[in-house]
Structure formats: C-alpha cells, structure tokens
Structure 1
Amino acid sequence: MSDFFQNGIVTSLHELGRRPAADLMAEVERYASERPITLVLPCLYAELQGPALDPIVRGLAELPWLAEIVIGLDQADDEGYRHARRYFSRLPQPHHVIWNDGPRVQALVADLAAQRLAPADRGKGHNIWLCLGLAQATGVGQVVALHDCDVLTFEPRSLARLVYPVIHPTANFVFAKAYYPRISEAGLLYGRVSRLFVTPLLRALMRCLPPSRYLDFLNSFRYPLAGECALRMEAAHRLHLPSDWGLEIGILTEVFRDHSTRQLCQVAIAERYDHKHQPLAAGAADRGLARMGRDIASSLFNGLASQGQVLDLGLVRTVVSAYQRIVLDLLDSYAADAAINGLSIDRGAESLAVDCFTSSLFEAGQHFVQENSHRPLTPTWDEVLRLQPDALERLLRAVSEDRAG
C-alpha cells in the first residue's frame, strides 16, 4: 500500500510494501532476546471447537521469540479445563492456562472482590485482568501482547508487526494498537461497530463538545475496537480494565491518561482480518450489537467524565441527533468504498444496525446521566498488591495447583 499519511495525534505505522516475513521475524527475535514478550490469549472454551484457534496455535508454535504464553480460559468446567490443557500442550513455549471458573481461582477472586479489589463483573476484561496478573507474577515478560482467539486470518507476521514498535530498542513507544480492514473471506465489509458507531459517535462528540485532546486522541485510531495491542509490562500494571464491551475504549483511555501521545502508536498488521461477526440481536439490549453499542458508549461517557466533561440529558439528545446525521453520510461513503473494491455491503442491514446503535447510544447516555451510584474502577494489580501483597503469589499457586490436578 502507498498509504503513508499521518493523521491525528498518534503515530501510524503503515504497511508500505510487503517486507519479507523472514526478515521481520529475524529482527523481532533479535529484539525480543533483550525485551522478552509475554502473549496473552483471552479464550472462551467454545473457541476450542471453532475454526480459528487451531491455526492460531499452530502459527504461534512457530515463534521462538515468544518467551511465555498466558491463556485465560473462560466458561469451562473441569473436563473443559483438562481438554484445554491438552489442546495447548503442543505449544513449545512456556505457557499457562488460567482456569477462570475453577474453584481455586474463583476463591481468590471472591476474596479480593470482598475487599473491592477485583472486577465487579465477569467478561473479557476480567479474563485479561487475571492474565495480566499472572504475567506480572511470573516476571518473564517485559512486553505483553493481547490477541483475540477468534481470528480466522491469523498470520505469525501479524503478531510480529504488533510487537515490533514496543520492543524496538530505539523507539520510544510503550503502547501499540493494531489496525486492519475487517473483510470476510466472502468479500463482505465488516467492522460495523467501528464504522457505523464509534467513528460517527466520536465525530458527533467533537462537534457538540469543546475541543478535547482526549477525543482527538480516540479519533486518531483507524480501528479503535481492535482487540490486539502490545504494551510495556510496567504500563500493563497500571491498567484499569472495564469488564464489558467497553474494554478496548477503556484501555485507550488508560494509556492516554498515563502516557504522552508521542509514546503511543497504531500499527497495520494485516491486509485483511476476519473474526467473529456479532449478530444484530435487535431489541435485545443485553446481547449482540445492541449490548456492544451500549457498553462502548458508556465507556466513552466515563472517559469524558474523567477528563472533566459534564454530561446532561440535553447534551445526550444533541449528541444522538448529531450522530444520526453524521452516520447517514458515512453510509454512502462506505458503500462507495466497498463498490470500488469489489466488496459486498448490505445497505438494509447497515441501516438496521444504525437504528440499533442510535437506541443504544441514547440508553447509555440516559443511564449515565441518571444513575445514582458511581461504578468503581477495576483496580490495577499495583493497587491490589498494596493492600494484598500476596495476591499474585496466590494466583500463581492456584494456576500451578490446577495444573498439577
């Protein structure tokens, strides 16, 4: 690609031609010997039966520069955990499977939760929180990379590109966010939540609110909802992680709070990326795109409030109206983009998704303005350790005892 344009306040690292994978891998392996990498894989047990995970594991097995792999296993019973242990045993790297539903880990989390030192809800954020805790406990990695387990188009070079900015010895980046086009093997243009919700919502907020560097920052990301990112371990120690679909926006908010934007970047990792496509589930606020939209909007509102922005119901209505106007124009833009590239797009389904997102946005704003209680931040592991110095030791012991059977 010839796209070398830098926009926004975050450095974009493009794919400017197809660099030989062997050359990239050799350089990453050299740098990783000085700055070891821990890979975190938040995983649902159901994904072990899906089509994506097996190629991912086979690809990861080819990467000697991964110092450690931490797999967070959700929604597994005892037999499911044992199956997962066997499934991941082909990885040659040191690896750990955290049985999040096991009695030992559950007892630790319950003990911490009683002291308000654990996430309030289960979800991907809870899973990653435990994985980051274990990575901190082992002390192996200086860099941690997060990668989803439902990616159908995984290539090892994608992971190499993801970690490259953070492990490069002369770069000053502490955080790298992946970006990529969401295109299915059948040629369908996906990424609806980013295209039809996050991007127009950010633009609506920028139109309705005073100038905000926080919004400028979020609007700089080409795919803000990408689940793949890499960061220095010391930065991971300070992350307050949402448990719901607002996780990715929450992570961006956290790194914005802690670091200069000169230390943050986004990196193109693939020409095409395809993973689980969420159903619309219209009318069901607790699942599908409706749930995603509500959680993401709530995370954005929380981020704005943390920057000192006061929100009221009148402002919410104004933002919703601005969003509707902006997204209508974007529908035409995306349709034209798909057409010139020979991709398919369902305008009817896109319009239904916009209606769903509009409702989710208003519901999230209304709830944020009218709720009577403040939802506490998930504690960082550094905060946990100040009050429970043995917490990581207990987590490491729970994982070891589960492994021993």
Structure 2
Amino acid sequence: MADFHQNGVVATLHNLRERSLERMERELASFSQSRPITLILPSLYSELEQPALEHIVSELSEVPYISEIVIGLDQADRDQFLHAKEYFSRLPQKHVILWNDGPRLREIDRQLEDESLAPDQPGKGRNVWFCMGYVLGARTAGVVALHDCDIVTYKREMLARLVYPVANARFPYVFSKGYYPRVADNSLNGRVTRLLVTPLLLSLEKVVGHHPYIDYLKAFRYPLAGEFAMRAHVLSDLRIPSDWGLEIGVLSEVYRHYSSNAICQVDIADTYDHKHQPLSPEDAAKGLSRMSVDITKALFRKLATDGVVFSQDTFRTLKATYFRTALDLVETYYNDALMNGLSTDRHREEQAVELFAANLIDAGNVYLESPNATPFMPSWSRVNSALPDVLDAIQQAVRADAEEA
C-alpha cells in the first residue's frame, strides 16, 4: 500500500487501494458532461505493429468517459495512414488522426515556417504540439490528457487516475503528472530518472545554490513520466521543446504559469513498463545518449531564464559533483533492488553514469555556443496571433485527410 507522504511543494495524490475503478469511471463520466475529456496519443506508425498499442486500444475501447481521442501519427506514408484509419476504427469513441507527414499538414507546416513559427525538428514534441493545436481549434475539450503508445503494462485505470484530479471541479488542480515505480522483468528500470535527473538536480543545488525551480522538480517522483493531464485552457500558452526535453519542458512551463497549489502528481500504476531505449554510447544522436543531452539542455535553459549564470567552470564543477552523487545513488539503488528481490547491473549502471557525465559537458557546450537558439516551439497563442486562421486550417486538413479513401 502507498504511503501518504507529502513534500510540501506539489500535492501528491496516492493510491490507497480503497476506491474501485468502476466508481471512479462513473464519476468521470459525470464530470465529463461539463468538462469533456480528450486524450492525445502521439504515435509512430511502427507502434501500430507492436503488441503494446494493440493492448492500449483494447483497454481504451472500454473507457466510458472519453469524448475524443486525438492520434498524432508520425513516419507514415499514404498507405500506412490508411492502415492506421482502419487500425483505430475499432475505437467506439470519436477519434481523429493527424497525419503529420501528409501533404495537407505539411503545407500548414510550410506556412508556419514562412513566419518562423514551425518546429525545427521532428519528434514526439512536434507531434504533441500539432495535436495541441488541433484540440485548441476544436474548442470542445475541457480536460486534455496525454500518454505514450508503447506502454506494455497499460491498464485503463492509469487514465482514470491521471485525469481525475483535473476533471473533478472540487479540486483546484489545473495540471496532473502521473508517477509509478519502474519495475519489470525482475529489474529496476527508469535509468534516466534515477541516474541522470535525480543526481543532476541534487548536484545543481550544490553548485548553483538553493533555487525554487530545483525544489519543484525534485518534488516529482517521476519527472520524466510521459503521462500528464491538464485543463484545456493550459494548452494555449505552453512553449514546449520538440526533442526529448518534452516532459521537463512541460513541467517548466506549468511552473512558470501556475502556482504550485494548482499542480499535483498522482499515483497511476503499481508497475509500469514500456519500450526501452538503448544507451547508445557510440552515437550521441540516438537512444538514452541523445535523451540525456536534450533533458540536460532543457534544465540549463530554464535555470538561465531565472537568472542562473553558467560558464565552462560551472559545467566542469557540475560534472564532478554529478559523477560522485550519481555513483553514490548507484549503491543506494542496488541495495533497494536487492531488498525487494530485484536486480540491477552495477557495471551497466556505472557505464550509464559515465556517459551521462560526459554528455553533461556536451550539453553545456551546446548551451554556451548557441546563445541565440530558440529551443522551444512557440505557444499556440502566439501562432494564432500571427496566423489567425491556422487552427481552423488544421481542423480542415484533418477532416479532409479523414475522407481519404
């Protein structure tokens, strides 16, 4: 059974195992009458060929309170898009597919590029950003949730617990973040959170001093969770990264716009497993290597906007502090795993720490050498101001794609 510990920064809503899923779903169905609930699913076409998404769609088919499912489809040609339409047709809820590689949405992307408003690289962040634009243009959602399409252990209770805090009008929350233990196949997982983000935040606190943003991120039990939900009005002002920094970027934007009293984290699963990325030490453009650089850059840039000054000396000190802190945590995680009958490979854990330490310097160099970079995609409020018809254009493109035979 979960504990009831609160960190005092953001509310933690535990799963104390006293409420049935059926009761929660009945309440959500009632809440959805005044706050319609939309789910965003960012997906690569390749995920349609995996059992994880097959199971997710099966579970979602049983959810009674979703008003609309918005599927962002990446890396799909025309035949694959048509197959995706057939694949998702089993969903009983209203659903749409954004064919991001189709000619209509590509044309909108070109119009955005002409105004220097287009995302500068493909990826999950760009996919989510266009889905957010669609949801804002539809003007029907009261609550918007998002989760990944590669969750092997998916249960529809995850979604119910994720959206409940922002769908319930009696609660003050505008944003909820899911958390869970990363345990699967008798192994302790979640390397990037455990071995990068946690020791990096502790090290930043030592090197740059106490900072409320660091306290805020430390309060989240799983800051890299891809499952979050929010009131629909939150979407319009979010500026999010297009790369692997998406989850940290969303947390940063919510921190910038809202009081911590309006933010919560919620226990959504006893176990969680998804597609594992390779460490990829030989290629910094792939796997956990790229992920670590993108996440670290996002942290540096956010702290810089709050007045923290970074230099080469700062990054060298930070690397040394991080390395020692992370190695100490490797020992702690090993003991925790051992006590619970789980395994961790200490050699591989330390290899990951060594890679993340080197990438910390690389991320710092990118930050210092690109002072004019605009790492975040523009908010939809700004885009709509520059191109007042763009949200309607996205709606029309998606409808026209849906009519493709």
Query: TM-score, with normalisation over the residues of structure 1?
Result: 0.98
1:222 is aligned to 221
Judging changes above 3 Å, is the alpha-carbon distance between structure 1 residues 44 and 2 closer, same or farther for their aligned structure 2 residues? closer
Distance 2:294 2:2 in 1: 35
**1:203 counterpart SS class:** helix
- Provide, for residues 213-247 of structure 1, a one-character-per-residue CA deviation record: whole Å limited to 9, x for no partner: 11110111010000000001111111111010011
Identity %: 47
Matched-pair contact (CA < 8 Å) for 2:180–2:269: yes
1:18, distance to aligned residue in structure 2 (A): 4.8
What does residue 49 of structure 1 align with?
49
The alpha carbon displacement at 1:210 in A equals: 2.5
Gaps of 5+ in 2: none
C-alpha deviation, 1:372, in angstroms: 4.8
1:5-84 matches, within 5 Å, as: 5-84=5-84
Q: After superposition, what is the alpha-carbon deviation per residue over 1:78-135, rounded to whole angstroms, capped at 9, x for unaligned? A: 0110010000001111110000000110010111112112211111010001101111
Q: Please give the alpha-carbon distance, in whole angstroms, between the structure 1 residues aligned to 2:210 and 2:79.
A: 54
Q: Hey, what does 2:258 align to over in structure 1?
A: 259
Amino acid at match of 2:157: R
AA matched with 2:124: K
- Conserved in 2, the CA contact under 8 Å of 1:98 and 1:399? yes
Contact 2:162-2:266 within 8 A present in 1 as well:
yes
Q: Distance in 2 between matches of 1:27 and 1:3?
A: 24
In 2, the alpha carbon distance for the partners of 1:156 and 1:390 equals 36
Please, which runs of 5 or more residues in structure 1 have no aligned partner?
Answer: none
Q: Which residue of 2 aligns with 1:119?
A: 119
| Residue of structure 2 equivalent to 1:360 | 359
- Superposition misfits of 4+ residues, deviation over 4 angstroms: none
- SS of the equivalent of 1:399 reads helix
> Distance in 2 between the 1:377 and 1:19 partners?
40
TM-score by length of 2: 0.98
> In structure 1, what is the equivalent of residue 322 of structure 2?
323
SS across alignment from 2:234: helix
Give distance in 2, aligned partners of 1:287 and 1:374: 21
- Three-state SS of the structure 2 residue aligned to 1:43 is strand
Give SS of 2:51's match: coil
Number of equivalenced pairs: 404
- 3-state DSSP class of the match of 1:81? helix
Do the aligned residues in 2 keep the contact of 1:8 with 1:219 (CA within 8 Å)? no
In 2, distance between residues paired with 1:19 and 1:188?
A: 29
Residues 252-292 of structure 1, C-alpha deviations (whole Å, 9 max, x = no match): 00000000011001000000000011101112110011101
Corresponding position of 1:150? 150
Map of 1:176 onto structure 2:
176
Distance in 2, Cα, partners of 1:29 & 1:325:
50
1:402 aligns to what SS in structure 2? helix
Give me the whole-angstrom Cα distance separating, in 2, the residues matched to 1:2 and 1:113: 48
- In the alignment, what sits opposite 1:95? 95
Question: 244-253 or 364-373: which moved more?
Answer: 364-373
Aligned to 1:139: 139
Q: In the alignment, is the contact (CA less than 8 A) between 2:242 and 2:376 conserved in 1?
A: no
Task: Provide the C-alpha distance between the structure 1 equivalents of 2:42 and 2:371, rounded to a whole number of angstroms.
Answer: 33
Q: 2:31, 2:168 within 8 Å by CA — same for their partners in 1?
A: yes
CA shift, 1:21, in A, is: 1.4
**Residue type of the alignment partner of 2:77:** D
After superposition, the Cα gap between the structure-2 partners of 1:374 and 1:59, relative to the gap in structure 1 and judged at 3 Å, is same
- How far, CA to CA, are the matches of 1:74 and 1:8 in structure 2? 39
How many angstroms apart in 1 are the aligned matches of 2:329 and 2:368? 28
Deviation at 1:371, TM superposition (A): 2.4
Deviation at 1:19, TM superposition (A): 2.4
* Structure-2 residue corresponding to 1:404: 403
Question: How far did residue 207 of structure 1 move?
Answer: 1.0
CA distance in 2, matches of 1:97, 1:50: 18
Contact 2:25 2:64 in 1 (8 A): no
Summarize the alignment of residues 347-386 of structure 1 with structure 2, pairs less than 5 Å apart: 347-375=346-374, 377-386=376-385
Q: Which residue does the alignment assign to 1:332?
A: 331
Change over 3 Å in CA distance of 1:391–1:349 after alignment to 2: same
1:251–1:372 distance in 2 versus 1, CA, 3 Å:
closer
CA distance in 1, matches of 2:174, 2:42: 21
After superposition, the C-alpha distances for 1:329-381 in whole angstroms (9 at most, x for unaligned) are: 10011111111111121111111111111111110012212225322531111
Contact 1:176 1:229 in 2 (8 A): yes
For the 8 Å contact 1:71–1:131, the answer to whether it is kept is: yes
Q: How do 1:176-255 and structure 2 match up within 5 A? A: 176-184=176-184, 186-255=185-254
The 1-side partners of 2:208 and 2:248 are apart by 19
